A and B are shown apart, each in its own frame.
Chain A
Amino acid sequence: MSDTIVALGSGRPPAGIAVLRLSGPAAGPLLEALTGRALPPPRRLLLRPLHHPGSGALLDRALVVFLPGPATATGEDMAELHLHGGSAVVAGVLEAACAHPGVRLAEAGEFTRRGFDNGRLDLSEVEGLADLIGAETESQRSQALALAGGALGRLADSWRDRCLTLLADAEAGLDFAEDEADVAARLDQAAAEALTAMATELEQLVADSGRAARLRDGLVIVVSGPPNVGKSSLVNALAMRDMAMVTPHAGTTRDLIEVPLNLGGMAAVLIDTAGLRDTDDPVEAQGIARARARAASADLVLHLRDQPDAEWPATGLPLLGKLDLHGGAAPAGGLALSATTGAGISALRAHLARWAETVLRPGEPALLAHARHRDAFAEAARLLREGAEADLPELRAESLRLAARAMGRVTGRVDVEALLGQIFSRFCIGK
């Protein structure tokens, strides 16, 4: 029999409330022990005082609910305790729970893993859930929800089915064509065209997936410029926290400093870099090399200068800082600001949010956020192209079979019987 696991399902205390989740055969008995009463009716949230089963001490007055399996997230009996969110309360109830026979603290991801083990989730749903737990912003959450709700699984399934239909044609031609079934030899040209069309569609999905990864991991914005123009001050102003050390000395920032940023509901990572200059200091030189590399792969580079007559690169967003010192005009296509007074900072924030909006199109779901899914779709596209070009039918079938399998890997479902089912339902096989 499996253990019963317990974990804090909500954010870290202290907080308004804290939700403990229990899953496993002892969920019910433990709830009875803590409340000292019979189980509440399934799926009804009730107020109950909780006592330590050993000492009898009152732990908290909590809302409790019992969720009998298998129609639960884990497929097992579950219970939830909605506690007052103080650290001591949570620690006390967790301690009392783990004193119960067969109950232990859950390991990371163990609820999800149980749901997966009990067939409540497929692989892509599990990954979607993991993302959901990690989602910090609104758009990340809606993308993760689309994944957890099975949208990716449905997409992969529909692609796998399209591969299977073509594969059934190909396989029927190989296994039965000659004298057992009237499988037309029409397949070759039509199949090659269908394969090419599918490959093109898949490639577009994969191309769109850069957007999906950005939605999940955040856009990368790098602040770049000569030493001591106020890059770290700008970063702190945008983050509204002192994330980077600021001194009057040039070369203070030597390594990359990454700051998470919320741009109107979209995630971004703001990166402070070492000022760009020639230096003999090997540590600073390495920092500068990293700064250049990061700027090269960034989604947007903010080029900060502190003199109105400075030169700005043609790409990226030109920014003129230290406005409070010189009162100069904004560079063409850019903004002027002061991290010290806050002038121009909210305009910059609004500008960045608009930019993020156009890049990420957060209203449209982007499905291929995971490298694993992207790889599977890209591989399928490559195999379909290869199949279109194959000159022998068994080689085309081989490419198609692998493409269908690549799709199946996204949802964890691959099955020969599905293929035979297709063949027998569509072709009259048998002499």
Chain B
Amino acid sequence: MTFDVLVIGAGHAGCEAAAAAARRGARTALLTLSADDPGTLSCNPAMGGIGKGHLIGEIEALGGLMGRVTDAARLQARVLNRSKGPAVHGPRAQVDRRRYRAAMGAALSAQPGLTLLLDHAEALIIEQGRVAGVRTAIGEVRAAAVVLTTGTFLGGVMHRGAEREAGGRSGAPASSLGDALRALGLPVARLKTGTPPRLDAASIDWALLDWQYGDADDPHFGDIPGTRDPALPCGITRTTPATHAVIRANLARSALYGGQINAVGPRYCPSIEDKIVRFADRDSHQIFLEPEGYDDRTIYPNGLSTSLPADVQAEFIATIPGLERAVILKPGYAIEYDHVDPRCLDAGLAVTSLPGLFLAGQINGTTGYEEAGAQGLVAGANAAAQACGLPPLRLDRAQAYTGVMIDDLTNQGVTEPYRMFTSRAEYRLRLRTDNAEERLGETAAATGLVNEERAASIRKAEAARSEGRALLHSLSATPHQLAKAGIECRQDGVQRSAFEWLRFPMVGTAEALRLWPALAGIEPALLATLITDARYATYVERQTQDLESFRRDEALGLPPGLEWRRIPGLSPEMAERLQAAAPETLGAAGRVPGVTPAALLALLPFARKAA
């Protein structure tokens, strides 16, 4: 069997990769073990959040699947940080696990040019120094470009107390491709993560708990879907001093603290034993009880990730209000897995040293469905580009969170599983969920990641934006007129445009509509975006110079295969760091940790203006 693009693994990265490659017209195969794999949520039944919701918005803007599949499967949805400004709003949805899988399966089936293959990938086929496909349990699959998205399956080992079990997820075998990657000379290291025990909803005393509901306006990522089932709330409870005492008494039996696990786990997603050790002064931690579906009794107790033995898990769960008689359906565990040092990738997620191979998702040291999905989309789009001679998809730090993530990964590498935070984005005020299409629509249309119909709607939206913006600049008012409309402001006599007035906190949407009734003609979501643009304008304009120098350095390409060690004026230590990250631009070189301005000067003679 021969394809243009072969994607191995049908997790969040794999699904987006395969769908993106197919959207660009590549004949694409998605190889996985079981037809149930696509859209499986291995960990919590929730999508999005702060930073992560931004990534889903970008996937949506680039024609990807995660946003609309989440919409179709949601149990409830909220916008986190609603009390703060729009740049840090984080849409998040609890989803129904089964519906998510079904919707993802349906989206893949509906994608022309995409074939699902059920088989086990055993080894990469390498011919004349390039990857040409994989050998599987039953034969061979050949492709001009291969995207590897193995998640936690690469050399996966699950830990629960002293128990160890090989596998990539509870009930699924591990992959042996890790050895193949090591043999190819790719830098492989180990990371860990964990998941909590699952509880039976019928055994929880819900009456004792606080409930958290979704937002009334039912936020969503894609186009507004039709009717849907009523939203489900989550329960909230807390650990008690008794919980902490049980965990402390059994710390030595934890796989983490007992010495079975050496790999590094994420600081922002600590196990419950980590929280109790590292924040010993706290006697209580919040636990969210998240339903896994409409027709599902499984409850995901978010905040209780653990590698303690099953009997200790049962003992400490019983000390938590509402969970005194809770039945554990599946105990929690920690998992160690192989990842590849992402510094061996280029900005299109291709392995620099092995043409034809792309990596996306947890294999690159990230964590999270959304991080995986966004990488998958970029890797799939670039695999299609390579196989079919199309232009590549490159996103930079000023354009998208996806660009920030890939730039961080490929230049800085990882020391713990990488998760998206808004604080990683220096252009945060520009990179919002409400303007994802504005930022990426043109790219999506130009690279064929969206169809002609969607491209037309993107162009239409752009026209409406320009028109709305022009209107905001043309309308104006004096401080006197504001005072007459009941808005307190300094009477400095300066007439300002509506756009300028909206920078002031006392002029919000309601005031604007009162002052300039013509604004009511703008579609409400667009008006909100334009008002946000105005609100941030002072800060965003100040970044313009920064952005120019950023783009100038990004435009200075460093030649591939540069012999860093032979560059005069570079210290051996500096050369080594640059060698590992192999930055593609002078700007990227500057973001390699420890690289000094003087080292950049030394690189300058080698930099070439991109055509």
Contacts and interface: CB of A to CB of B under 8 A. Distances in A.
A415 B590 CA distance: 11
Contact of A417 (B49, B88, B505, B593): B593
A357 interface: no
A345 to B, nearest CB: 49
Contact of B268 (A118, A119, A174, A176): A176
Most buried by B among A177, A395, A401: A395
A398 B539 CA distance: 8
Given A118-B571, A393-B85, A424-B268, A175 B597 contact: no
Interface string B532-543: 000110010000
Contacts of A180: 49, 268
Interface string B568-611: 11110110000000000000000001001111001000000000
A416 interface: yes
A249 B97 CA distance: 101
B430 to A, nearest CB: 11
A360 B513 CA distance: 59
Most buried by B among A182, A395, A417, A430: A430
A107 interface: no
A392 B426 CA distance: 17
A350 interface: no
Contacts of A419: 423
B488 to A, nearest CB: 14
Interface stretch (B281-289, B352-360, B523-531): B281-289
A415 B595 CA distance: 11
Contacts of A250: none
A278 interface: no
B130 interface: no
Interface residues of B, number: 49
Nearest to A1: B568
B306 to A, nearest CB: 12
A178 B80 contact: yes
Given A113-B598, A394-B87, A430 B424 contact: no
Contacts of A398: 428-429, 539
Contacts of A392: 84-85, 505, 535
Given A178-B80, A391-B505, A119 B303 contact: no
B424 A416 contact: yes
A175 B598 contact: no
A420 interface: yes
A123 interface: yes
Given A174-B88, A395-B429, 7 more contacts: A2-B568, A117-B569, A118-B571, A174-B422, A395-B539, A430-B266, A431-B303
Interface of B: 44, 49-51, 80-81, 84-85, 87-88, 90, 266-270, 275, 278-279, 282, 285-288, 302-303, 421-424, 426, 428-429, 505, 535-536, 539, 568-571, 573-574, 593, 596-599, 602
Sort A-B residue pairs by CB-CB distance and give the 8 closest, nearest first.
A424-B267, A392-B85, A431-B302, A431-B303, A171-B423, A178-B80, A428-B279, A429-B268
19 contacts: A117-B571, A117-B596, A176-B50, A178-B80, A179-B288, A180-B268, A392-B505, A395-B429, A412-B596, A415-B593, A416-B423, A417-B593, A420-B421, A420-B423, A429-B268, A429-B270, A430-B266, A430-B275, A431-B287
